[in-house]
Amino acid sequence: MDWIAIVSGFGIGAIVGMTGVGGGSLMTPLLIGVFKLNPAVAIGTDLWFAGITKVGGAWAHHRHGHVDYRITGLMLAGSIPASLATIGLMHFTGITKGWASALTFSLGIALLLTAVTVAYKQAWHAVGLKLERWLPESRKRGFTVASGVLLGVLVSLSSIGAGAVGATLILLLYPRLPAHRLVGTDIAHAVPLTLVAGIGHATLGNVNWGLLAALLIGSLPGIWVGAHLTKVMPERLVRTLLCVSLVTAGLKVIH
């Protein structure tokens, strides 16, 4: 199955390179549907896949000064404790059938949320500008930490949300943040969150390391190819196909 994993990693990497999102959102359903991993192992494996593949992007954005570390710090202040608490609860209660159902349901909801955020990417900016009237700077700090808490729980339960959902939450709270700093800040927050959650799942035995290695071998060149395909592939077409895939996978997981 190694060659299938490498090809799958390449395909997911290409999608990430073309759209900037979709890696975790498509990888977990793929691990469950194609590689027949149980939801917990699929989520743990995907967390490591997402964290490792985003390290290079985070470093590049850091070097170019594209990271707002004040926002990143506030979000991590909420997401890391929330992730640790979620993983701790899983340790305390054990991976039971109840948790398996919760993980599967969380995965389906996260997929649908990601589809909505991708489909209405442009609209969130307008919503954020309107929210500024009722959300003064003095309140943004608390809402930013709260957004981190939400992401910490969602990512730990589903492995999904640190990218597209995280970027949307930042956009709603900081609509005047330049696009390149929005992306850089989102990735800088996603890397430590996914790795912390990934370490937590690894302590539960929820990572298939061999499969992870094969996926990474395919994803790295895939991201490079996808980045170059953005010049010839219409963004609207790519995002439409991505949204259809996310909704289909989300509905299938929930049912």
User: Which three-class secondary structure state does DSSP give residue 130?
Assistant: helix
Highest mean pLDDT of the ranges 10-19, 97-106, 177-186: 177-186
User: Residue 199: what pLDDT?
Assistant: 96
Query: Which one has a higher pLDDT value, 234 or 224?
Result: 224
End-to-end C-alpha distance for the chain, whole angstroms: 27
pLDDT at 75: 97
pLDDT of residue 85: 96
Please provide the average confidence, as pLDDT, over all residues in the chain.
84
91 CB-near residues (< 8 Å, 6+ apart):
203, 204
- Better-scored residue on pLDDT, 243 or 167: 167
Please compute the mean of the pLDDT values over residues 2-25 and round it to a whole number: 78
- Band the pLDDT of 95: cuts 50, 70, 90: low
Is 245 a residue whose pLDDT tops 70? no
**Per-residue pLDDT reduced to its tens digit, 24-56:** 677 888 898 889 998 889 999 999 998 888 887
Share of the chain above pLDDT 90, in %: 33
Q: Which long-range contacts (CB under 8 A, 24 or more apart) does 28-31 make?
A: 28/107, 28/158, 28/159, 28/160, 29/107, 29/111, 29/249, 29/252, 29/253, 31/211
Residue 200: pLDDT band with limits 50, 70, 90: very high
List the single range of 116-130, 168-182, 219-233 with lowest mean pLDDT. 219-233
